[in-house]
Amino acid sequence: YKATKKYETFSYLPQMTPEQVRRQIAYTIAQGWNPAVEHTEKGTSARVSFWYMWKLPLFGEQSVDAVLAELEACHREFPDHMVRFVAYDNYAQSQGLA
């Protein structure tokens, strides 16, 4: 166990493999949710910090590779930021996954 800051639900889990991340994104797309990428500065409390949206949500995106490319582009643009994947559920009008 390593003493690290915990920011959201998945941060309490062991590190995900690239295949597990791919499957999470595929699941959200299969649910019909809209993927989005957000980022914020490291060192701030995630509970009180603002997560900046990287572009608009990828409305209707069906390609896991396109979503992964946006995640990587955000990491390249903001290498010192925390980056997260979120998915918006149109029906519930809320985030289905973060």
**DSSP per-residue codes, the chain:** -------SGGGGSPPPPHHHHHHHHHHHHHTTPEEEEEEEETTS-TTTSPPEEESS--TT---HHHHHHHHHHHHHH-TTEEEEEEEEETTTTEEEE-
Give the residue with greater pLDDT, 8 vs 32.
Answer: 32
pLDDT at residue 79 in the model: 94
Inter-residue contact 98 to 9 (CB < 8 Å): yes
Range ranked top by mean pLDDT from 12-26, 37-51, 67-81: 67-81
Predicted local confidence at residue 32, as pLDDT: 92
What's the pLDDT at 1?
46
Higher-pLDDT residue of 44, 30: 30
pLDDT band for position 51 (cuts 50, 70, 90): confident
18-42+49-97: CATH class: alpha beta
Instruction: Please report, for the chain, the start and end positions of each structural domain, with discontinuous segments joined by +.
Output: 18-42+49-97
Instruction: Round to whole Å and give the CA distance between 73 and 77.
Output: 6
Single-letter code of the amino acid located at 71: L
Strand (E) positions, 1-98?
A: 34-41, 52-54, 81-89, 94-97
